Structure 1
């Protein structure tokens, strides 16, 4: 699937299987989401550019690689995106953070925005947008619309699960934004949930359902 990278590392797939189980507790789900997000972050940042810098080890002076350019921005789509955000910040603690408040109207399935806060210079940074689910794609599309309005141009989208319908909608709206996911599931049901999926990620993270 053009523009979609499926992260099929065995540890990712193992943890995802446990998260899918309806018997997995809220505490375990939250812990697994944090663990798997670190692995996903490793993959979505695999091709970051490096520059060489002179340093001194305890034994000698060498040229060693460091990340080039300005720090990353992790953009969390509230509220479930924060579950991925925490693990990614464990790996890249210097990243800037944006928060985008969007929720899905359960009747229309449309995205309703209620909050947006991002670093002012997103135009100069790689922005990695995170949300566990790419279902209809409406929330993700609306979030990236807002980031582009602020000048962001180098954007990637990272999720746990995606539905084919959501991928199609997303790519029609933002063909320039690559998608990274651990799985492309079968389809959406009549309520807009990913099947087989794992339920509502936010509710399972916070025990609200």
Structure 2
């Protein structure tokens, strides 16, 4: 199963790297900028998670993560150079898939260290969101985490699903899949129907 988790982790890194490449394209960055944005998006959240949990940073002794990032970047560059325009909707879709993958992998790592439920949920949010925050800040964009459709809240909901299914004795594989789907479907629904959490009354 450890090998399976590793492949899930690589897939999450690749999806987030693609979202970073899409934003770099929209911002007309050069090749180095593309790689930097894809890399920080792909490994930023997991790096912060491991530092906080005081565990070895996942990519330090495993170059496969950088192979995954470069592969995703090259594939995305090839595809983007064949397109005339790239709708923002595709960036949001790629980000939603990366969010779901990484949030659950963050929860799994915290749970494997016997962390309490609140910490498991927080690590899921951090792992899923922080790379995107770095990406948006570097690209001079308002982070999705802070504005717009439901974002971090989807990770919180996924964290609640994950922890409760774990306590109910549901198998780890089913727990991870159900949690990923709950995050992904809620995020896609938020994008589709513009679901937001308003607390202020703004004048038009």
TM-score normalised according to structure 2 size? 0.30
Counting strand residues as a fraction of each chain, which structure ranks higher? 1
Larger radius of gyration between Structure 1 and Structure 2: 1
Query: So what's the TM-score if we normalise by structure 1?
Result: 0.30
